[in-house]
Amino acid sequence: MYNLVMEFTKSLVKGKLIKRYKRFFVDVKLNKEIVTAHCPNTGSMKGLLEEGNDLYLMPNNDPKRKLKYGLEIIKTRKNLVGVNTHMANKISHHALDKNLIKELKNNDSIKPEVFFNKETRFDFLLEKKNQKIFLEVKNVTLFRDKKTAEFPDAITSRGSKHLLTLIDAIKKGYKTYLLFLVQIQNMEYFKIAKDIDIEYYKNYLVAKKAGVNFLAYRCNISSQKIYIDKKLKIIND
């Protein structure tokens, strides 16, 4: 199993959350000092930002960068949550490469960030037996009960646009998938948070009826590694 595991490139450092501000910054208590770290998540991070939450930082030794740490994981309500949105495509690429997503195994090629039209590029273009497949990945960090992950955590017009563009791709002969990548420990189910964004939910139903394939997979997370390990049941239907 070792080669199926994606490890962090450096050892993470444990601290406690003080506050997040201006979207890109978090103040963290690290041992006896307070440091400012980069927050690589511009979303609402709903339910994650309670003062005193344990968190894990990635050290940064690049002299060109002002901030010496980047936020990777927050622990809330006993679950580790991967909050670095830039990791979502890395985790997904690793999973595709190692055939961890059973619906998307054995691809002949995996190309990241491919333009579909002038306005939209999808996260991956897969090719398998002369079939071209567009895959869009959405990072999921919201959970409001013990076992159910949800998306989105705020109104997302961009997310709705991606759903409608996936339908356009079907009309042009592509097969399409949207993967909800749940970077939250211990989840068993996934659903669309229609109380947060009813338009996204409506577009999800339209896209599903049009033939877009929806998947939800959970990550196994620790301070050493993060990788896809389980398919979740989608319960919006």
For 49-68, how does the pLDDT look when each residue is reduced to its tens digit (9 = 90+)? Answer: 999 999 999 998 888 888 99
The whole-number pLDDT of residue 74 equals 98
204 shares a domain with 179:
yes
192 shares a domain with 163:
yes
CB 166 within 8 A of CB 136: yes
CA 47 – CA 153 distance, rounded (Å): 9
Q: How many domains does the chain have?
A: 2
**Looking at the predicted structure, is the pLDDT value of residue 119 above 50?**
yes
What integer best gives the mean pLDDT of the chain? 95
133 shares a domain with 38:
no
**Looking at the predicted structure, is the pLDDT value of residue 25 above 70?**
yes
What CATH number did the domain enclosing 41 receive? 2.40.50.580
Query: What pTM did the predictor assign?
Result: 0.95
What residues contact 18, with CB distance under 8 A and at least 6 apart? 26, 27, 28, 29, 34, 51
Could you say which of 77, 95, 119 is where a domain stops?
77
C-alpha count within 13 angstroms, C-beta hemisphere, residue 92? 32
Could you say which of 23, 46, 77 is where a domain stops?
77
Give the SS3 label for residue 123: strand
Q: Concatenated DSSP letters for 75-111?
A: EETTEEEE--TTHHHHHHHHHHHTT-SGGG-S-SEEE
Instruction: Give the type of residue at 196.
Output: I
Q: Pick the residue with more confidence: 65 or 76? A: 76
Q: Is residue 82 part of a domain?
A: no
165 shares a domain with 104:
yes
Q: What is the pLDDT of residues 150-194, one digit of tens each?
A: 999 999 999 999 999 999 999 999 999 999 999 999 999 999 999
How is residue 151 written in tokens? Answer: 């998306």
pLDDT band at 3 (very low <50, low <70, confident <90, very high): low
**Looking at the predicted structure, is the pLDDT value of residue 2 above 50?**
no
Domain holding 36, by residue range, is 2-77
98 shares a domain with 213:
yes
Could you say which of 77, 112, 140 is where a domain stops?
77
Starting at the edge strand that comes first in sequence, how are the strands of the sheet with 148-151 ordered?
142-143, 148-151, 189-192, 233-234
**Looking at the predicted structure, is the pLDDT value of residue 203 above 80?**
yes
**Looking at the predicted structure, is the pLDDT value of residue 4 above 90?**
no
The whole-number pLDDT of residue 237 equals 57
Q: Is residue 177 part of a domain?
A: yes
How is residue 6 written in tokens? Answer: 């994606």
Percentage with pLDDT > 90 across the chain: 91
**Looking at the predicted structure, is the pLDDT value of residue 1 above 80?**
no
**Looking at the predicted structure, is the pLDDT value of residue 145 above 80?**
yes
67 shares a domain with 95:
no
Give the SS3 label for residue 118: coil
110 shares a domain with 24:
no
What CATH number did the domain enclosing 151 receive? 3.40.1350.60
CB 75 within 8 A of CB 82: no
96 shares a domain with 10:
no
